[in-house]
Homo-oligomer: A and B are copies of this chain.
Amino acid sequence: MTQTRLDLARIRQARHVVDPVFLNTPLYRCEALEPVLGCAVSIKLETANPVRSFKGRGTELVASLLAGSAAPAAVCASAGNLGQALAWSGRTRGIDITVVAPRRAARVKLDRIRSLGARLELVDGDHEVARERAAAIARHEGIRLVEDSLDIETCEGAATIGLELVRSTPTFDTVLIALGGGALATGVGHVVRALAPGMEVVCVQPHGAPAMTLSWHARRVITTDSADTIADGVAGRRPIPAVLDDLLLVADDAVLVQEASITAGMRLLLDHAGLVVEPSAALGIAAILEDRDRFAGRHIVTIVCGSNIDMDAYRRLVGTSGVRI
């Protein structure tokens, strides 16, 4: 394949830099899900760590590079997971961290960012507004701007998940990856393309925030005026051109799913796998629910990428009685 921005040697090296608490996460077949989904399903669980999402893999790389500088500091825009992970990695290394988040972000994520000692600035508006504000802070203060999916560390950190997937036995037919800014999809996709070329790479995004998927199909950047989805972790509107270029090289497909399917996926993961997940982490299951025929009889692995969700919202979404679908 034509080269993406990612580099396999650097990704392998990243495993020696990232705190082991984020590595070698559980990967296991979840047979209780299979009668409902009609295919073999394995789960790569990225929630059982101090920040409850995969983002620590990337922020560990960012922070380790910054740690050597004088008065190290960084700022990022985040719906919450990147900010929490950057705050964690920064605290460990004495790095001053600022996180810019939409005011309506999940309270649990904002509380954790504060608890981890980061400076939190809330903005009115969505993730794109937060990105602009973070960039302004970086320019004004002369500090590092961490841009999710654009910054190679965020992609190559996520790519370490790919190394763990491709060494698994048995192998998988398809990996389903939540698609937002693209760090997770390009990271994992790059490794799968290079080391397990027979494995299909399918990205999944909500209909309510479809910009990157529309761009992938059009092979050019398409922005949207708004994003409206419960999956706050993937709610971008303006794909980054360099990330789209990478995604075009590594993804076999990108599909959109309905909000109701995301909620149904969350319920299934609770009822049959005992897993609390945030909406973004249920996108893979949602994709299977919407197209059982496509995945029938195959062995699918889906990355359960985060579990940061306000419990009130969770209870509202997933329901309080014994829901069966």
- Which residues of A are in contact with B by a Cβ distance under 8 Å? 21, 24-32, 43, 45, 47-50, 52, 112, 115-116, 270-271, 274-276, 307-309, 311-312, 315, 320-322
* Minimum C-beta distance from A108 to chain B (A): 8
Query: Contact at A30–B50, with CB atoms within 8 Å?
Result: yes
Other than the given A21-B27, A274-B309, A320-B320, 15 more pairs (CB < 8 A) read A24-B24, A25-B26, A26-B48, A26-B49, A43-B48, A47-B274, A271-B311, A274-B276, A274-B307, A274-B308, A312-B322, A315-B320, A315-B321, A315-B322, A320-B321
Query: Contact at A311–B322, with CB atoms within 8 Å?
Result: yes
Q: How far is the CA of A32 from the CA of B321 in the complex (A)?
A: 27
Which single member of B27, B112, B276 contacts A276 (CB below 8 Å)?
Answer: B276
Question: What B residues does A311 contact at CB under 8 A?
Answer: 270-271, 322
Question: What B residues does A31 contact at CB under 8 A?
Answer: 50, 115-116
* Minimum C-beta distance from A207 to chain B (A): 26
* Minimum C-beta distance from A202 to chain B (A): 23
Residue among A25, A48, A52, A112 facing the most chain B CB atoms (10 A cut-off): A48
Which single member of B21, B28, B321, B322 contacts A48 (CB below 8 Å)?
Answer: B28
A–B Cβ pairs within 8 angstroms, 8 of them: A21-B28, A26-B49, A28-B49, A31-B50, A45-B48, A48-B48, A271-B311, A311-B322
Question: What B residues does A29 contact at CB under 8 A?
Answer: 50
Q: How far is the CA of A47 from the CA of B43 in the complex (A)?
A: 13
Q: How far is the CA of A135 from the CA of B320 in the complex (A)?
A: 41
Which single member of B26, B32, B315 contacts A26 (CB below 8 Å)?
Answer: B26
Q: How far is the CA of A321 from the CA of B276 in the complex (A)?
A: 16
Question: What B residues does A30 contact at CB under 8 A?
Answer: 50
Instruction: Output the nearest chain B residue to A308 by Cβ-Cβ distance.
Output: B274
Residue among A26, A47, A112, A271 facing the most chain B CB atoms (10 A cut-off): A26
The 7 closest A-B pairs by CB, nearest first: A320-B320, A26-B48, A274-B307, A274-B276, A312-B322, A271-B311, A45-B48
Question: What B residues does A307 contact at CB under 8 A?
Answer: 274
Known: A270-B311, A276-B274, A311-B270. A50 touches B26 (CB 8 A): no
* Minimum C-beta distance from A81 to chain B (A): 13
Q: How far is the CA of A49 from the CA of B45 in the complex (A)?
A: 10
* Minimum C-beta distance from A229 to chain B (A): 20
Question: What B residues does A276 contact at CB under 8 A?
Answer: 270, 274-276
* Minimum C-beta distance from A193 to chain B (A): 25
Instruction: Output the nearest chain B residue to A306 by Cβ-Cβ distance.
Output: B274
* Minimum C-beta distance from A307 to chain B (A): 4
* Minimum C-beta distance from A52 to chain B (A): 6
Question: What B residues does A315 contact at CB under 8 A?
Answer: 320-322
Known: A311-B271, A311-B322. A28 touches B50 (CB 8 A): yes
Q: How far is the CA of A52 from the CA of B322 in the complex (A)?
A: 20
Known: A24-B24, A25-B26, A31-B115. A274 touches B322 (CB 8 A): no
Query: Contact at A112–B32, with CB atoms within 8 Å?
Result: yes
